[in-house]
Amino acid sequence: MNKNEIVEPHTRPQNTSLPFPKPFTAEWTLRRIRKDPELHALRALQSITHPERSQEATLGILQIIKELDDQTALAALKLMQESKRYIRGRKGHQLNLSVVLKTLEDQRAFRTTALLDSGCTGSCINRQFVNKHHIPTQRMPIPIPVYNADGTRNQAGPITEMAELVLAIGEHQERIQLAVTNLGSTDLFIGYEWLRFHNPNIDWERGNLILNRCPEACGYRHPTLQSQQLDIFQVNQISNEFEEGDQVFMFDWQGYQDENEYWQKQLHVRRLKSQEDLYNLIEPDYFKEFPEVFGKQEFDKLPERRPWDHAIKLVPGFKPTDCKIYPLSIVENQALD
């Protein structure tokens, strides 16, 4: 080194772009994968993987994530944090629906039959259907295994592609991501995740589905709900047309029906020819089945003396408490007479 050279003091370069990521996040794990030895990187991957998918955090997946760019790798790590999305069950309710699938780019439409299956978690599209109609797909950052209900891997293999389409069920339309896999003779599976989000009204026996409970995030309004909203709007619009001092005629229809029913009953009672007819009208059936228990003759008699009867001794000089006597009604007096 030349003595005349000026040596700059050595300083560690500062990273001013992003702060150190929070531990056990996708960003933190990606940093560990990029910088740490392979064994430490694998442990970091295993620490954020969902417990249901712990067996998927392998050296093979780690190597795949290493070769991805940062954005795709982060997407892959976030997928590892999710629970099992694609499970093929056998005991779920099933319903066939006529649907229309539309491509996003060229708006091609394909009518097909979808199997609504509450035993399948995620929604899937048949690979044969995709290839037949040349539907564009996107590759997944990492393969996503498909599990059976007993926890074993499905023979169809992992999901490596997704297709984003417009799904139309009647007037209901939405963009949906469908996993591309082998579904045999079925073109489309609509799974439990879709059911939970839209919460449709389903009659499994008759095979009817009504989308009348979609959340606001869906954006669809059922025609019945729209008409109800229109009725409310019309009432509010009419109420805004009134001014102070205007007279409005109001009719209590429910009160009219109740009063009319009451007077019809009163008229029917007055037409009865005797007191016996009245009792036959109002007495319950069990009164008639046991006349010896509820009859007037038995009511006026004291019961027979029994061995377990005991005397009630009165206290000498006791004065009963004075209280108000409430008179009986006319009907009660007639019953006593």
Q: Can you give the pLDDT at residue 187?
A: 92
Burial call 105-138: b when 16+ CB within 10 Å, e when fewer: eeeeebebebbbbbbbbbbbbbbebbeeeebebe
Q: How confident is the model at residue 86 (pLDDT cuts 50, 70, 90)?
A: low
Quickly list DSSP for 224-260.
HHHHHHHHHHHHHHHHHT--TT-------HHHHHHHH
Least confident of 93-97, 189-193, 228-232, 294-298: 228-232
Q: Can you give the pLDDT at residue 81?
A: 87
Q: CA 124 to CA 137: how far, in whole Å?
A: 13
Reported as a single tens digit per residue, the pLDDT across 115-130 is 887 777 888 999 999 9
Q: How confident is the model at residue 16 (pLDDT cuts 50, 70, 90)?
A: very low
Q: CA 159 to CA 183: how far, in whole Å?
A: 12
Q: Can you give the pLDDT at residue 6?
A: 39
Amino acid identity at 118: S
Report yes or no on whether pTM surpasses 0.75.
no
Q: Average pLDDT of 68-73?
A: 88
Closest CA relative to residue 116, chosen from 192, 170, 184: 192
Q: Are 111 and 98 in contact (CB under 8 A)?
A: yes
Hey, which residues does 111 pair with through a beta bridge?
Answer: 100
Helix (H) or strand (E) holding 282: helix 275-282
| Domains of the chain: residue spans and CATH | 26-80 (no CATH), 87-210 (2.40.70.10)
Kindly calculate the radius of gyration of the chain based on its CA atoms and give it in whole angstroms. Answer: 40
Reported as a single tens digit per residue, the pLDDT across 173-199 is 999 999 998 888 889 988 888 888 888
